Amino acid sequence: MSIGFNDWLADPQVTLPWLIFFGLLAGVFWAGVIGGNLKRVLTIGAIAGTSTVAILWALGATKWFASPTLGIVFVVGMGAGLALLVTLASTGLGNKPSRNTALAMVVLGGILYYPLQPLFTFLKTNYNGWFIVALAAGAVLVGAATGYFFAKEDRKPVMRTGAIVAFLVGGLIMFDRIMQEWSPYVTSDFVSNRPIPTLGQSNDGLVAALDANPNMWMGTLDSLLHIILPTIALTLISFAGYVRYTRGNLLEVLNQDYIRTARAKGLSERTVIMRHAFRNSLIPLTTLMAWDFAGILGGAIITESVFSWVGMGTLFRRAIVSFDLNLLMGVFLITSSLAVLANLVSDLLYSALDPRIRVGSGN
């Protein structure tokens, strides 16, 4: 995939078979997400598929893929799409306070786009991770406060929607700043127009150059590109299992009495599934995901070996090969601690997903 994509960047044209494939994929996805009767599903699928084909053709014709700059139009447009998608999943598009909160976050992001650029330029050579965390926390708080203002009742889901959309819009603005380094990065002597790497955690030559001339955004772009293939490999291993677990658990939950009660109260099917059934169906999956996450932090020996990453898995393998028992005991100590921590995190998530589990709730 990496080698083929790098070759494709030499002449980035989306051919007709790929246009048809992505159009059908987008049509099926959005029709399934929004749902409705057969006429509505077909209409949504046709609109989404046609729009996707038109956008991809325009991007290919304008050589956008060769220099994928984003800009305020992309940030606002993608932000609006994410706002509607989050609102749909959280409360439904019919919830006016939630929809207005989400769109207000998109408008605010567009207003702050240009004022934030000088700050990003300052951070380019004066990187401070805590400042980035503070910006993310500020976005979440602003989103939650806006949701509280728009909602007169049932404020919690509206505040949650606003916080999520604000975080995503802030992420888009940050990603836009990172992508402004794409052309200098790709054309540098260390990359030579082949930006997707197959090995290593970073480009050693580029890292040495950035030590002399700091550029936090280019360094971040390099790290993100190096992590693409390992992330895809680790994600695909578990994705099918997660889907099957979720489907099986959801089918079981949908037969519970409280689901029939929710339907009898006249709630929409989306509300019944997303706000009542889906959260409870995630409880078994939460345990599995917590353990998998701890396992990844504890080391993915095969993935690290294939992609030449130096992590816990590589450390574990070296300890075995060199008969270094002290190092091996240290690795076991860390991995066992992660296992205990994963247990704790999953227990805390149980109470967040299912209020019945909270000890002393209602007292």
The pLDDT > 70 percentage for the chain reads 97
CB atoms inside a 10 Å sphere around CB 158: 29
pLDDT, position 108: 94
**pLDDT tens per residue across span 70-97:** 889 889 999 998 998 888 878 877 889 9
**Residues 227, 307: Cα–Cα separation, whole Å:** 9
Cα within 13 Å of Cα(221), Cβ side: 24
Alpha helices for 194-324 (secondary structure H): 204-212, 216-253, 257-264, 269-271, 278-297, 301-307, 312-321
**Residues 166, 136: Cα–Cα separation, whole Å:** 9
- pLDDT over 80 at 62, yes or no: yes
**Residues 332, 248: Cα–Cα separation, whole Å:** 34
Q: Which of 338, 327, 329 is nearest to 300 (CA)?
A: 338
Are the C-beta atoms of residues 264 and 312 closer than 8 Å to each other? no
Residues in CB range of 210: below 8 A, 6 or more apart: 218, 219
pLDDT, position 361: 52
**pLDDT tens per residue across span 236-268:** 888 888 888 888 888 888 888 888 888 888 877
- Reduce the DSSP state of residue 249 to 3 states and report it: helix
Model confidence at 358, pLDDT cuts 50, 70, 90, reads: low
